[in-house]
Each structure stands twice: as structure tokens, then as C-alpha cells.
Amino acid sequence: MKWETLSLDTNHEMDNVYILSLNRPDALNALNTKMGVELIECFKYLETQKELRVLIFTGSGEKSFCVGGDLKERKGMTQEAWKHQHDIFEDAYESIRTFPFPVIAAVNGFAMGGGMEMALSCDLCYVAEHAKMGLPEVKLGIIPGAGGTQLLPRTIPIKLAKELLYSGRSMTATEARETGLANGIFSSEELLSGTLEKAKEIAKNAPLSLKALKQSIDRGIQTNINAALSIELEEYYKCANSQDREEGVLAFNEKRKPVWQGV
């Protein structure tokens, strides 16, 4: 598959890990309408890839993950056109959040506005030492509209989230790590290889378990503890009644690596 604004690496040596890159480096990987449409198309395609277990999501170049919406494209945009574009963006971000397998952000520079919301939409986040992350929408007369006001307070302490949102200031890589926004920090040169090693470690595990874990966590965190435990049991029995569970127990007893079938 070929896209104008995206690049997909499916090298089979990456052990069930794909790398999806935003590919507008000359525009600091700013999100335009074309990219929004292609993200929706790409995630639909990725859901058909049976060998995929973990997706790394990053930006082309070393300066920027994504600086948010392309303000040059938005200059002079009518309210109707703005709404149409944002509808596309909403669907694109939902595609990231609801992807069945883990998605890991590798933030290789600026992640501002919609770019930070992309990182927040991923399951895990690793950042380069020079990364800067922020939601500066308040400085432009708007607020985040792709999950920022909801995902950030679910990721870091609420008072810090409010401070960042009210001020529009950015976070350094160190602050992102210390607050729990980022899982770890790598040098610019080692970001992708380091993130890939983390992804490979996850991708070795049972695919049904990975999908069930994501469903259990993401659905459960939105409700009360009793409902959440019911969701956990629902997902637990999807795995417990599977052939992969039988294979996992057998492989353990035979002291070998399991061969997962995803059924």
C-alpha cells in the first residue's frame, strides 16, 4: 500500500512489529486533510494484517513527530470546511485509539497540539531527549478537540494536566517521563531501535491476550470497579477458551516457545 503523507515499514525481520511514520517532514509532519484521510485508510488496512502484533507510530525526520494541524491549510478556511476537516480528524484519532493491538508512539521531536493528542491516543510512549510536547490550543483561541482534555488528565495528575492546558506550555522529555506521560527516554539516534526492542518484547506474547488486555483496560477504566471486573472476566474467558491458551500451557510444560495461532 502507498500513501502520500504516510510511510509504512513492514519488514518481516521486525518480528510482527510494523512502523507507521507520518511523512511530511518539510512541514514538520503537520496534520492536513489528506493525512487525516490516509490515516483512516491505513488503519483499516493494518487491521487486515494477520501477522501484525504491535504498531510503532512515529514521524519522519528528526525534528518533529507532529506539530498538530496544518495552519497554512486552515488559513481562511470557512467554518463549514473546518467542521468537515475536523470530522475526518476525529475518525482518524479514533482509528488510533481503537486499534485492536498495542500502538506505541515514538516521539522524535515536537508533538504539539494534535501531535500530542496522537501520542496520547497511543498505548505507550517513548520520547527522544530533545522531544517537546504540549497542547497550545488556548493560545490560538480554541481548545484541544481530538482527546487532549480527556486523555491528558487520564495519563498524568489532573492538576498538572489543567496547568498545561490552561497555560499552553510545552513539556520537556524529562518532564514527560517524570509525570508518566512517557514510558522512557532515548537519544535521538536510539529512539526507533530502542522502541522497536520494547515492541518486539510485547509482540512475542499471545495475540488474543494482547487484544483482550487492551479491551479490558480501555473499557474498564471508563466505568466503576464492579463493571470493570465484569469486563475483565469477559475478556479473560475469550483467552481461557482459546486454542492459544492450550498451546501456551503445553509449550510451558514442554519447555519451548509457544506457536501462537490467534485462535
Nine-digit cell at 99?
Answer: 486499534
Active-site residue (options: 4, 13, 80, 137): 137
Whole-Å CA distances, 164 to 51, 141, 146, 170: 39, 15, 16, 7
56 torsion bin: left (phi>0), alpha (psi -120 to 50), beta (else): beta
Active-site residue (options: 117, 234, 246, 254): 117
Known catalytic residue: 94? no
Beta carbons of 151 and 160 less than 8 angstroms apart: no
Known catalytic residue: 62? no
147 torsion bin: left (phi>0), alpha (psi -120 to 50), beta (else): left
Which residues are marked as active site? 117, 137
